[in-house]
Amino acid sequence: MDTALKLFVKNGIDATSIRAISEGANTAEGNIYRHFESKDDLAREIFLDCAKQFRAALEETVKLDTDPEDQIKALVRTIFGFSMNKQLEFCYILIVHHREEIITKDILSKPLPKDVFIEIINNGIENGNFRSVDPVLAVAWIVGMVQRSFIFVQRKITSLPQEVVVEQTIDAVMRILKN
């Protein structure tokens, strides 16, 4: 799975063959098919593993505070931390998120990282901390901002230090959510 993750991120899922994965993992193709029905099945399992790691990092962060505003700020910091410390996993989540053949209804029924945000945004709306906004759409805005900011920092498109980018992104997120 580690080899497949690296190759999927580097070359894309479509451009990566089971043969390339088996060669990189130093195993026979048949061994892969003993564990996974298809390349899409392998891609799906890797996505679930990466999403589980990401969600665990987010859930750990949420435990540290009960205020929705502080939780959202901490979650944005955690996304940046995860994106920098677990770059392959983060990139893979972003790549796979748009692939209908990988992201099936079954996967969408499982606990995903976005659900942590949705719960906090809903609590913030109920408590009057946040304006009335579609939580799913708000998560898309937040993740989109963090994703682009991550890319700009990683590719050195911005000259700002990462810490400044994180704080400015948090400020923008709060302006989206606040009344």
At 49-101, the pLDDT tens digits run 988 898 889 889 988 888 999 999 999 999 889 988 998 998 887 777 666 55
> Got the DSSP string for 76-139?
HHHHHHHHHHSHHHHHHHHHHTT-TTTS-HHHHTS--HHHHHHHHHHHHHHTTSS-S--HHHHH
Q: In CATH, what class is 48-177?
A: mainly alpha
C-alpha distances in Å from residue 133, one per residue of 8, 118, 121, 137: 35, 11, 9, 8
Reported as a single tens digit per residue, the pLDDT across 92-143 is: 877 776 665 566 556 555 667 788 889 999 999 999 999 999 999 999 899 8
Specify the pTM.
Answer: 0.82
Domain ranges of the chain: 48-177
Instruction: Please count the other Cβ atoms lying within 10 Å of the Cβ belonging to residue 153.
Output: 19
